[in-house]
C-alpha cells in the first residue's frame, strides 16, 4: 500500500523529498544500507529515518559506521533491534548495546554477506561456502557435503527497503558511483522490494555513458537529490 501511494505521487518523476521518503518507512521493517565505514552511505536518508522515529528496525549493512557517521546514528538512537553486518568494531555503541542485550548482532564474514545479498537478488536458495567451517560461524547452520567436501549453506538476504548512496543519476534512475563509494550499493539494489538512491545530482536522460552505468534504472524506484534535501 505504501509503495502504491508513493508511486501515484511520482508516476512520471522518480525524485522524492523528505515526506515521501518517510512515507515508505514503518516500524519493524528490514532495511539494507550501502556503505563501507560511512563511505557510500546515504547520510541524508539515514537522517530522515532518524527523524521519522520508526523503531524495531533490522539493518543489513557491511558495518555500523561510527557513532556519528554512516548508519551509526540509528544505532545510537535506539531505533535498531537487529543488525546483520560483517563488523561493528568502528562503532563502540553497537558493541555496548549488544553486550547489554539491547540489540541483536549477527556477524557474517564479509564475502559471505555479499554472496547472501547476491543470492537474495538473484532468487537463489542460498550459497555454499567453506568460510566459517570449524568456527562459531557454523553454529545452527546446515552442512552439505558435495564430492566428499563439506560446505556451509548460507541463506539469502532480502529487505523491504534498500537505501543507496550514488554520485549521479539520470532522470530515469540509472546510477553511477564515485570510486570506492560503490562498495555494497549495487548488490543491495538487487535485493530489496523498494530501492531509494540518494544522489548528488540528476542529469537528463541520455547524458550518461551506458558503459559507466552500474545500477540500471529498472532497479531504482526513487531518487533523493542531495541538493534538494
Q: Which fold has domain 2-133+155-228?
A: Glutaconate Coenzyme A-transferase (3.40.1080)
What is the phi/psi pair of residue 65, to 5°? 60, -140
- The model's pLDDT over 30-83, given as tens digits with 9 standing for 90+, comes to 999 999 999 999 999 999 999 999 999 999 999 999 999 999 999 999 999 999
Flag whether pLDDT at 9 surpasses 50: no
Contacts for 102 with CB less than 8 Å, ≥ 6 apart: 78
3-state SS, residue 104: strand
Contacts for 138 with CB less than 8 Å, ≥ 6 apart: 132, 152
When pLDDT is averaged across residues 198-221 and rounded to a whole number, the result is: 95
Q: In the chain, what are the domain boundaries?
A: 2-133+155-228
- The residues that bridge with 153 in the sheet, in sequence order, are 128
When pLDDT is averaged across residues 3-16 and rounded to a whole number, the result is: 56
DSSP string, 178-196: -GGGGTTHHHHTTSEEEEE
Determine the pLDDT at residue 12: 53
Strands 149-154 and 127-129: antiparallel
Average pLDDT over the chain, rounded to an integer: 92
Determine the pLDDT at residue 162: 98
Model-wide pTM > 0.85: yes
Flag whether pLDDT at 158 surpasses 80: yes
When pLDDT is averaged across residues 149-170 and rounded to a whole number, the result is: 97
CA distance 115 to 91: 24
Amino acid at each position: 500500500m505504501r509503495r502504491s501511494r508513493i508511486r501515484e505521487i511520482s508516476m512520471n518523476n522518480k525524485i522524492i523529498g523528505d515526506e515521501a521518503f518517510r512515507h515508505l518507512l514503518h516500524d519493524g521493517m528490514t532495511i539494507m544500507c550501502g556503505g563501507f565505514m560511512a563511505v557510500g552511505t546515504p547520510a541524508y536518508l539515514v537522517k530522515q529515518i532518524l527523524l521519522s522515529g520508526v523503531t524495531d528496525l533490522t539493518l543489513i549493512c557491511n558495518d555500523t559506521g561510527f557513532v556519528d557517521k554512516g548508519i551509526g546514528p540509528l544505532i545510537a538512537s535506539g531505533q535498531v533491534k537487529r543488525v546483520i553486518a560483517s563488523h561493528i568494531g568502528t562503532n563502540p555503541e553497537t558493541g555496548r548495546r549488544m553486550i547489554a542485550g539491547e540489540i541483536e548482532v549477527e556477524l557474517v564474514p564479509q564475502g559471505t554477506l555479499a554472496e547472501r545479498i547476491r543470492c537474495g537478488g538473484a532468487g537463489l536458495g542460498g550459497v555454499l561456502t567453506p568460510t566459517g567451517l570449524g568456527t562459531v560461524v557454523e553454529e545452527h547452520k546446515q552442512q552439505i557435503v558435495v564430492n566428499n567436501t563439506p560446505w556451509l549453506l548460507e541463506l539469502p538476504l532480502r529487505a523491504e527497503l534498500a537505501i543507496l548512496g550514488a554520485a549521479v543519476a539520470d532522470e530515469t534512475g540509472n546510477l553511477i558511483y564515485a570510486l570506492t563509494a560503490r562498495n555494497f550499493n549495487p548488490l543491495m539494489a538487487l535485493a530489496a522490494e523498494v530501492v531509494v538512491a540518494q544522489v548528488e545530482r540528476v542529469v537528463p536522460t541520455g547524458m550518461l555513458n551506458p558503459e559507466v552505468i552500474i545500477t540500471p534504472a529498472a532497479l531504482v524506484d526513487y531518487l533523493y537529490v542531495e541538493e534538494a534535501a
